[in-house]
Amino acid sequence: MQKRKLGNSNLEVSALGLGCMGMSYGYGPAADKQEMISLIRTAVERGITFFDTAEAYGPFKNEELVGEALAPFRAQVVIATKFGFKFGPKGEQSGTDSRSEHIKEVAEASLKRLKTDRIDLFYQHRVDPDVPIEDVAGAVKDLIQEGKVRHFGLSEAGVQTIRRAHAVHPVTALQSEYSLWWRKPEEEVLPTLEELGIGFVPFSPLGKGFLTGKIDENTTFDKSDFRNIVPRFTPEARKANQALVDLLRQIADRKNATPAQIALAWLLAQKSWIVPIPGTTKRNRLEENIGAVSVELSSDDLREIDSAAARIEVQGARYPEELERRTGL
Cis peptide before 59 (omega within 30 of 0): yes
| Helix residue spans in the chain (DSSP H) | 33-45, 61-70, 100-113, 133-145, 159-168, 189-196, 235-255, 259-270, 283-291, 299-310, 321-324
Of the residues 25, 27, 57, 178, only one is catalytic, namely: 57
Q: Could you please report the per-residue DSSP string of 165-233?
A: HHHHS-EEEEEEE-BTTB-GGGTTHHHHHHHHT-EEEEESTTTTTGGGT---TT----TTBGGGG-GGG
Residue 171, strand partner residues: 152
Residue 271: phi, psi to the nearest 5? -150, 150
Report DSSP state, residue 30: P
Q: Is 123 a catalytic residue?
A: no
Give, in degrees to the nearest 5, the angle at Cα 53 between 180 and 56: 100
Catalytic residues: 57
